[in-house]
Amino acid sequence: MPLARLRLTALVLAALLAAPVGAPAGAEPARFIELVPSGGEVPVHLAVSQVVRVARVDQATAIDTISYVQQQSIEPVEAVAQRLMAAGLRLVPLTDLANRRLYVAPERVVIVRRSPERHAEGARASLVMAGLRLRNDVAVRETVEEVMAALGR
């Protein structure tokens, strides 16, 4: 075998051995952030790419994931959202019906429509999202046009 071909074969084998097992070529490793749960237990690790929505629910910050699991945290909504965005997740800020900030992952939005009558007064748009644990839509104060503009940014 010529020396150039042996070098090429060795280079290909080295690249294959260096690639992580089970990961597609060029895929980045999963990114996680650490969260303090609402019960004050030991911190949990949340996969950034799995997040659907970050919002205030009752007295905790709720983080919905694509697996329909909701993690609650004592950390403020803004702090969690900023850490997720710093880790590479695209989140769009919107306003909930209590005039608080919530964040949605635009890749998980399925439908944007005028808010149905069943939502509380002040709801102007509704986003149907994949991955919400307790319901499949989020009512917001923004209009459909404002939501679409925010999602497009």
Domains of the chain: 28-152 (2.40.50)
The CB density around residue 140, as the number of other CB atoms within 10 Å, is: 25
Q: pLDDT, tens digit, for every residue of 78-113?
A: 999 999 999 999 999 999 999 999 999 999 999 999
Band of pLDDT at residue 39, cut at 50, 70 and 90: confident
Contact in structure between 47 and 31 (CB atoms under 8 Å): yes
Please enumerate in sequence order all residues whose Cβ is within 8 A of that of 146, keeping only pairs 6 or more positions apart, or say none.
125
